[in-house]
Chain A
Amino acid sequence: MISLVINHAKDRPASHDNDEGPLYAGRQKIFPNAVHGKFRRIKTALLIVTLGIYYFLPFVRWDRGPDAPGQAVLVDFAHQRFYFFFIEIWPQEVYYITGLLILAALALFLMNAVGGRVWCGYLCPQTVWTDLFLAVERFVEGDRRSRIRLENAPWSVAKLIRRSVKHTIWLAIAWWTGGAWVLYFADAPTLVHQLATLTAPPMAWIWIGILTATTYTLAGHMREQVCTYMCPWPRIQAALTDEDALTVTYRYDRGEPRGHYKKNEALRLAGLPAGDCVDCFQCLHACPTGVDIRDGNQLACVNCGLCVDACDSVMTKLNRPTGLIAYDNDANIRRRLAGEKEVRRIVRPRTILYAGLILFVAGIMAFALGTREVSGISVLHDRNPVYIRLSDGTIRNGYTLRLLNKLGTEARFALSVTGLNGAEIEAVGIAETESGRPVVMVRPDQTQEVRLLVTYRDELPPQASIRIGIVATPVSGGEAAIAYDYFKGP
């Protein structure tokens, strides 16, 4: 029953000349029927939640003090900062992004182990926007039958008006999608005002244009072709899925032999084999990727469950048990055919491993986030020359320090050196001192580079390389930041 044939291929007209196949395959347009049911409701809820987050998140405000941006989620390229609610990420901390990507990958693995391609069916942006665009299409042009009728109808004023309305709404949504995207990169209310008064920077218009074009094309016109031809994920999913994953499955053990309802009813009364499938094609008509799920698990299926809803409503009308198409797997069908009990194992080594890894990585990230320093110091030893002999024979080493202040207020650090008793230090261009230590001011949310000279007047052992610590102590109190390097001699 397993077949990887994409469904619309078999409707293709055969060529007369067998050696010369068609140059290209014309798209079989799909007109999904509206369905009602549990999975449709879940999909709609997720659509509202995910799009709601996407479109409105930039407008959420967050107070970070007078000089910091007041936007909860902001990618500030100009100042090289990323703000996410209470988290502020500096460029050298992009490993948080790496951590998030690892978490995302693990979450996909877990979803796949539990429910197959549920990501594709419910949460993938392509699915969500396509669903939204389909809803608009349905609203303007009616459901499946009237859309097919309109498609086949010759051009008329009525058709032109309907099509124009549809494409206008699509473009408006696409424009809003691009517009929301750029709001993540600048202060949202300001940018909205700039867009409204046509004073926004060109980069904003370019990105809105790109996102408008891609949204309109991908969600309005390409739809399921993105999933079947363009997206690499189905191929990866195929390698990840095991036979315990719950995928949308036609229970052929119950459905076959399919046939007309009344005829099958009669057969059933006569004690002859008769399936529950009445060949009504509701599952096929509901499918947004044009799959006939009764052909088995296949590449183009995104596991969205709309055929389940469609079939369940038919079964309910016929007073037959629902679940002829359900989230199940072929292993269970084989078990039932063999007279065994069906098994649903959501908790199993694979899912425990993925869940454990997610908790582990999330724990590491939470720990790293909780213990990150608000100030820091990095040090670079002069390489050329490594050391300098002064005229009185003493040895001096030069270092370039970078002091970090992640706070929203100015910070002052007193510099000192440990590990080399009697070393004298001098910070170039720094006059201010505090009990003999040079004091460096670092502006709020900034770094400051300082050149530090360390002179040692006593005798050094030959081939000296002494480990020293360079300490930046906040003058106003708080934990000192320390960086280690070496003091080199001849």
Chain B
Amino acid sequence: MTRAVPAPTTRTRHTLSPARRVKNTLMGGLILLATLIVVAPLILIFVYLLREGLGALNLEFFTRTPAPEGETGGGLLNAITGSLMMLAMASVIGVLVGVAGGIFLAEYPRHPLMPTVRMISDVLAGIPAIVMGLVAYGLIVLVFGFSGLAGALALGFLMIPIVVRTTEEVLKLVPLTVREAGLALGLPQWLVILRIVLPAAAGGIVTGVMLALARVAGEAAPLLFTAFGNNSVNLDPTKPMSALPLEIYRGATSAYDENQRLAKAGALLLITLIFVTSLLARRASRRR
């Protein structure tokens, strides 16, 4: 019986009809072609931005604000500081609420509110960023005017579902026996969570926060009518503030070459920062 096996294999290879063989090769080729088409835009965008924007990424870009319309020179210092400030403020909301949400979902699975929180956090993940901008506009701008705070609120709301999901997932990876060991030593549950479970999952949570930051760092839509933009450096969160994606949007739709040049350089900087952050986050999560 066993000795008879090789013979049929060779025979099937010979009897494989040309039609089937051609179809197999053809489909394999199409799949390779489709993959190339999928990956091409990423490479094309990056090469385009390198070619167009690298020259403008000089010292002036990082130390100056945009020149008045029609004049040359200037940089995006206002946007860089604005982005950093709003991302820092957004992280406070996103990390606090997101990590707490993740702890709630992972550590209190039998709480009656658990299914509601889980469902709503899933639903929030799908709400378009521009709609979050409208919400933040109604909540803050209508009362206090355009401000970096309003922009940060919209970005923070957008971070929440991403942080919740990743936190919940990594907390569930911490073995139950670790928790039981802590409880058996007489630690109350909250100390077990804070001292044992969270530190064990810290790497994964940081990864989630970095991914959330990378995601909202590029959002311009919710900032259009919250942070609004500002041509000079502003460190006061209650005043309008600029951000890199906002300047990219304004520059790309501007008729002035100089604004377009700054927009391309800003896009190169932003995309590089986002790529580096996501790659670092993924590498960190893969090592675990």
A and B interact: no
